[in-house]
Amino acid sequence: MKFNARFALCSGLAALFLSPLAFANEALVKKGVEAWLGSSGPKVENVRKTGALGLYEVQVDGELIYTDEKVTHIIIGEVIEAPSRKNLTEERKQKLAQIKFSDLPLDLAVKQVKGNGKRLLATFEDPNCSYCKKLAQELQGVNDVTIYTFIYPILSPDSTEKAKNLWCASDRVKAWNDFMINNQAPASKNCNHPTEKVVAFGKKLNIRGTPTMFFADGSRVPGYMPMNILEKALDRGSANSR
């Protein structure tokens, strides 16, 4: 495992300068948690000492758990900072879920430019997702945005067939909007489509539900957003990416 010499602690906690002993302790915690999980269990992705109660944060299969230095207790749940009522676990999850927008394989997405297209939004959506259809309705009223839609068929057996037909349509943007907004199914077509690549990339990002949205600053939002909140998120994402 590779660790930086300095870790940014969530919610304004002071940064810790890690000594070789700290690295050794993290390695021992990793070994202890993996022993607790068992050989058939998920692997530990990362270990980091937090500033709360001397706990160690352990990333396992995209989730966070906590333990003490000797792995005598395992805490599965959320850590709340009592005075501020901040959910430190949720803040940390959001930080870990951030990406670099430029790392997205945008050539695998349906690109739609509205107005000046200055704001950026990438979505992972299943054609059979009801909340994705609600999102499509909301996006009709959003302007000055470039939308990259990754068709991500994970919900039902025929999602993959619909994804293929939508990608292979002569006008992908029109086919997508016709289906998601007006329920007009695309004609059956065959072409060289990127569905498997999109699914593989989505799994790499640990995307388990649709819609999942990414904004220009790399922030991730799982789930549907009404237009007024979506507009603010687009503006915030653009401002923070500068």
User: How sure is the predictor about 11, in pLDDT bands with cuts at 50, 70 and 90?
Assistant: very low
pLDDT digits (tens, 9 = 90+) for 111-147: 999 999 999 999 999 999 999 999 999 999 999 999 9
- Interval 76-86 mean pLDDT: 90
User: How sure is the predictor about 24, in pLDDT bands with cuts at 50, 70 and 90?
Assistant: low
pTM to 2 decimal places = 0.74
For the purposes of burial, counting CB atoms within 10 Å of the CB of 38, is it exposed (0-12), middle (13-18) or buried (19 or more)?
A: exposed
DSSP for 34-70? HHHH-TTSPPEEEEEE-SSTT-EEEEETTEEEEE-TT
Taking the C-alpha atoms of residue 78 and residue 90, their distance in angstroms, rounded to an integer, is 7
User: How sure is the predictor about 23, in pLDDT bands with cuts at 50, 70 and 90?
Assistant: low
pLDDT digits (tens, 9 = 90+) for 48-76: 998 888 899 999 987 899 999 999 999 99
For strand 63-67 and strand 212-215, is the pairing parallel, antiparallel, or unpaired? unpaired
Q: Which two tokens stand for residue 231?
A: 């507009």
Q: Which two tokens stand for residue 223?
A: 């789930």
- The answer to whether the CB of 195 falls within 8 A of the CB of 204 is no
Residue 2 has pLDDT above 60, yes or no: no
Mean pLDDT score across all residues of the chain = 87
* Domains by residue range for the chain, with CATH: 6-97 (3.10.450.70), 101-240 (3.40.30.10)
pLDDT digits (tens, 9 = 90+) for 195-210: 999 999 999 998 999 9
- Interval 154-166 mean pLDDT: 95
Taking the C-alpha atoms of residue 123 and residue 177, their distance in angstroms, rounded to an integer, is 14
Q: Which two tokens stand for residue 198?
A: 């999109």
Q: Specify the 3-state DSSP secondary structure of 16.
A: strand
- The answer to whether the CB of 135 falls within 8 A of the CB of 123 is yes
Task: Determine if residue 105 is left, alpha or beta; phi over 0 gives left, psi from -120 to 50 gives alpha, anything else beta.
Answer: beta
Least confident interval from 17-31, 50-64, 167-181, 193-207: 17-31
Taking the C-alpha atoms of residue 18 and residue 59, their distance in angstroms, rounded to an integer, is 19
> Bigger pLDDT: 198 or 6?
198
Q: Specify the 3-state DSSP secondary structure of 152.
A: coil
**88, 172, 212, 240 from 221: Cα distances, Å:** 17, 24, 6, 15
- Crossing angle of helices 130-139 and 227-240, in 10° steps, is 70
Q: Specify the 3-state DSSP secondary structure of 241.
A: coil
User: How sure is the predictor about 92, in pLDDT bands with cuts at 50, 70 and 90?
Assistant: confident
**Percent of the chain scored above 90 by pLDDT?**
69
